[in-house]
Amino acid sequence: MILPPRGPSRVYAAMTFFDSLVPGIMLAGAVLYFTEVVHLGAVQVGSGLSVAALAGVAAALPAGRLGDRIGHRRLLIGISLLRAVILGAYQVVGSYPVFLTVACLAGLAESGVAPVRQAYLGTITTPNNRVTTLAFNRVVRNIGATLSTPALGVALAVDSPAAFRTLIAAGAVSVLVVTLIAIRLPETRTSSAPDTDQSGLWAAKQTGVLRNRPYIALFLLNGLLIMHMELLEVGMPLWVTTHTTAPAWMTSALLFTNVLVAIGFQMRVGRTVTDVGSAARAMRRGGYCLLSASVVFALTGALPSLPCAVALTGAVVLLTLTELLQSAGSWGLSYDLADATRLGEYQGAWSVGTQLVRSCGPILVTLALSSLEETGWLLIGSAYLAAAGVAVPLAYRARTDQRLAAPPAPESQPTGTP
């Protein structure tokens, strides 16, 4: 893995690393903190986190628009500082209403910072290196999340209120470090309309993201395609423990396999996406991978322990390839088809589809696999492939509309005298 060149991209990667420590510390750690230390019920915690996730959807688009107006770096610093304060406020939660309030604030901040961060990265990269830079940051994020999980293990081993409070405080400190790193980033600006005689016509053709129907269709489609994460995090553990003969520890080994494959191949897959066409085709290839993974998962229910373990490993590798292809395709489409003068707004809209599915996905996957079992895997894989195939014509339509809205090239002026 080659480090990005010195400058904003490397500083951004450092920020990504410290930001990636937070999910590993907070996801399971926060749940256990609220149940073991604050003594909230599991249903209360689950419902509160679901409400917080849905509330966060409302923040993405406004945050992106605000970043376009006042500057993405400035807003990134402000929201990161707010995140640190909110995570620190978990220490004073003592009742369900307070928990719900703090959790919703955290959801708003987390959802708001994502498009601002993505839009800023768009201003320090070019179309030639953007997807590979994003792939590098995904690798860094996976490494950071993996390194942070032992902290949860220590807290579980100690099993005391002080240990869980220290864990929550470590998450807040990590976000504070993100804020300090963001201060080191240079100021940037989004592209502006070209200064030509046709700029007025060009500006009239540029519209907000909510009027860009092909882009809307693509970000909703991308939201559906992010379903591979729910299959890995919810569907796979549920299936392994209730429908196969594999040992219980196999779930942990499969999640570790996912991390290793993602770290090893994310950059290679990212290099295959160079334009809108290759981005859409990457999503389509991801559909083939997920259908193949679904078929293998469906077959594992009838296999003995050892063949079952081997088949499950192969299925997770295919599922991880889906993740790598979908993410690389998503990066290419979300940036290359966006209005460069409204990058934050477009990135905010793109994240909405993801957040909607991540809010509703767990229950959909659980119902499908619990009620339909093997047939559920096959239906999910077939539906995913069909959705992934739609990415190519949709991307072509969006690219055509984008070209029609672009300003005409200025006519060359003859030199000399006739």
Q: Which of 395, 169, 199 is nearest to 282 (CA)?
A: 395
- The residue count for the chain: 418
pTM: 0.80
**Domain C-terminal end among 128, 160, 186:** 186
Structural contact between residues 214 and 349, judged by C-beta atoms closer than 8 angstroms: no
Please give the pLDDT value at position 27. 58
Structural contact between residues 361 and 234, judged by C-beta atoms closer than 8 angstroms: yes
Please give the pLDDT value at position 2. 66
In the structure, how many helices (H) and strands (E) does the chain have?
A: 15, 0
Alpha helices in 272-304 (DSSP H): 276-300
Look at residue 193 and tell me if it is in a domain.
no
Please give the pLDDT value at position 198. 38
The whole-angstrom separation of Cα 165 and Cα 37 is: 8
Please give the pLDDT value at position 204. 35
The whole-angstrom separation of Cα 133 and Cα 259 is: 19
Q: Which of 252, 249, 247 is nearest to 233 (CA)?
A: 252
Say if residue 248 is in the same domain as residue 310: yes
Say if residue 294 is in the same domain as residue 380: yes
The whole-angstrom separation of Cα 97 and Cα 240 is: 36
**Domain C-terminal end among 186, 218, 251:** 186
Instruction: Give the number of domains in the chain.
Output: 2
Say if residue 342 is in the same domain as residue 396: yes
Burial state string for 11-36 with b = 16 or more CB within 10 A and e = fewer than 16 = bbbebbbbbbbbbbbbbebbebbbbb
Token readout for 212 is 């860009």
Please give the pLDDT value at position 199. 37
Say if residue 258 is in the same domain as residue 299: yes
Say if residue 170 is in the same domain as residue 233: no
Task: Collapse the DSSP code of 206 into the 3-class scheme (helix H, G, I; strand E, B; otherwise coil) and give the result.
Answer: coil
Alpha helices in 185-230 (DSSP H): 199-205, 213-225, 227-230
Strands in 155-267 per DSSP E: none
Q: DSSP assignment of 3-49, as one string?
A: PPPTTHHHHHHHHHHHHHHHHHHHHHHHHHIIIIIS---HHHHHHHH
Q: Any idea what the CATH number is for the domain that residue 346 is in? A: 1.20.1250.20
Look at residue 214 and tell me if it is in a domain.
yes
Look at residue 339 and tell me if it is in a domain.
yes
- The tens place of each residue's pLDDT in the chain, 418 residues long, gives 567 778 899 999 999 999 988 765 665 567 778 887 888 887 787 778 778 878 888 888 899 999 999 999 999 999 999 999 998 888 888 888 998 998 899 889 988 998 999 999 989 988 888 888 999 998 998 888 888 777 767 776 777 888 888 888 888 899 999 999 999 999 876 654 443 333 333 333 455 788 888 888 998 999 889 989 888 888 888 888 888 888 877 887 888 899 899 988 988 998 899 889 999 999 999 999 999 999 999 999 889 989 999 999 999 999 999 999 999 999 999 989 888 888 888 988 888 878 777 777 777 888 888 888 899 999 999 999 999 999 999 999 888 877 766 655 444 344 443 3
Please give the pLDDT value at position 161. 84
Look at residue 411 and tell me if it is in a domain.
no
Q: Which range marks the domain in which residue 79 is found?
A: 8-186
Look at residue 217 and tell me if it is in a domain.
yes
Q: Which helix (H) or strand (E) holds 1?
A: none
Please give the pLDDT value at position 389. 92
The whole-angstrom separation of Cα 349 and Cα 61 is: 5
Please give the pLDDT value at position 34. 82
